[in-house]
Structure 1
């Protein structure tokens, strides 16, 4: 426990430090564009560029605050629902994407850094791209280690038992919806063309992202299903919670970001933006993913670890009001 706490605290400080270059780069872009010293991203006017980067600055500030809240004493005093929601969304964005970040970095290295050759939308130098990538990976790794340590300190009962006879009898509809979404994305990831309007727009990174989203949706669905079922399983409760947490967070965070983008492309028809998938199908899947992610989280909050004898191991993790 003490060793795990030490690792978690170091990871939290490391995550906050890792996001700092991203924050400074974004601030420099805003200030530089306002003063006329830095270029504006292609396809943006000044107001749009400043607004976009101001939003990402705020997101970086929230990320740094979250990382510090996971390790500093005052983090235990913040309302649990707020910490849990920010951590859930942040983990869904960053921790779930770590495998893709590693693979894409290897692919870029194999292509001699072609993705940062200076032809991107913001004319971003290679060193800036590397620092931004480092920030994302560092924050994701930091959350992956600091968050479980924080949760274990604040709600230790969720980590003390295996799952046995549960109290829920209803079918976890959110897990079923997530499974359907995961199978649809998996079909696209292996090359399926049904529901794909522009197959030529797909590339290897698109396949990887879609496949990773499918795997998290299916893993989260299976975990939530096992947490909600009656029959005992031999999987530690905390492992199922972690899979359900990341799977539901990935569904909510990424589809919550992609849904507005899909709707924008569908309504505005920008000439320089095209998505491979049929926009109506993609919008329905993303909307369903957001709803499923929230529903899976509600099931996770209501899950109750039990001892092998069938008696509750402690109160439900529901005291997120504290």
Structure 2
């Protein structure tokens, strides 16, 4: 346990340090655009560029603060729901972004913000996301295990069934559509010529985690198969639900904006109605899956307290 805690603390500091260059680069982009010394992405106005990158500055700052909360003593005194929610959303974002960092897609596409990145900035951003993702992958479970050890104890089937399994069904449906598109399916694709390798990769990753998370939540909700260590579906359900909620929560307003404003030079391959519907279902499914996992964890803690009291 002490060895795992030490690894988690080192990973948390590493995650915060890895994300710092991204924060500084984004601040420089915002300030540079305002004073006119940094070029703005061709498909954005200056105001749109500043707003978009200011949002990502806030996200990066929250990510660094969250990483430090996972390892510093004050993080244990913060409301558990706040730290857990931020860790959940952060994990959800990173599980989708990491493949771009590994394969270089992020830097090759201007960081997803519409501008052409200098090589050194692209490398820093890629390494930052990669380091943050790896760090949080170790730091988050270590923190959760340290704060709520009872939720990781026991096996599936030890107690009564959990909440309804409808979020798992909805998540599986969304994930299968994304996997279908990643495999080259064209139903719901309005502009096939706009499809790129990065889109296929994102669809495959998002679809996998949606289906894997759905299966994990289904197991948790139905309390079968019995004997499976509780932490296994908890981890997959946590990551899968976070990916659905965070990534689609980010994409939904952007998809609505593109569909309504039709900015020049931006033509998503998906049919706008289909894309909006899928992202909306993903957000609802992710939130519902988290509720199932939290209720299951709460039941585990109550049973542990009862056992100790007896």
TM-score normalised to structure 2 length: 0.91
Distance in 1 between residues matched to 2:7 and 2:100, nearest whole Å: 24
CA offsets, 1:256-299, max 9 Å, x none?
Answer: 11111111121112221111111111111110010000000000
- Aligned runs of 1:1-322 on 2, under 5 Å? 1-102=1-102, 104-105=103-104, 115=108, 121-168=114-161, 171-304=164-297, 312-314=303-305
Question: Quick check: 1:95–1:144 contact (8 Å CA) kept in 2?
Answer: no
Q: Is the 8 Å Cα contact of residues 21 and 131 (structure 1) preserved in structure 2? A: yes
Alpha-carbon distance change, 116 to 264 in structure 1, aligned in 2, over 3 angstroms: closer
- What is the RMSD of the two structures over their aligned residues, measured on CA atoms? 2.3
| Residue 128 (structure 1) shift | 0.4
2: CA distance, partners of 1:101 / 1:255:
19
- Matches of 1:96 and 1:269, distance apart in 2: 26
How many angstroms apart in 1 are the aligned matches of 2:299 and 2:228? 12
Assess if the C-alpha contact under 8 Å between 2:42 and 2:115 holds in 1: yes
Number of residue equivalences? 304
In 1, Cα distance between equivalents of 2:161 and 2:69: 33
Query: Could you list the per-position Cα deviations for residues 119-158 of structure 1 after superposition, in whole angstroms to 9, with x for gaps in the alignment?
Result: x942320110111111111111111110000001100001
CA distance in 1, matches of 2:167, 2:174: 11
Give distance in 1, aligned partners of 2:244 and 2:29.
30
Q: 1:312 to 1:135 in 2, by over 3 A?
A: same
Aligned partners of 2:144, 2:192: CA distance in 1, in Å? 43
**Once structures 1 and 2 are overlaid, which stretch shifts more, 232-241 or 252-261?**
232-241
Between Structure 1 and Structure 2, which shows a larger proportion of helix residues? 2
Partner of 1:95: helix, strand, or coil? helix
CA distance, structure 1, for counterparts of residue 21 and residue 162 of structure 2: 48
Contact in 1 for aligned 2:70/2:140 (Cα 8 Å): yes
TM-score normalised according to structure 1 size: 0.88
Whole-angstrom CA distance in 2 between matches of 1:116 and 1:256: 21
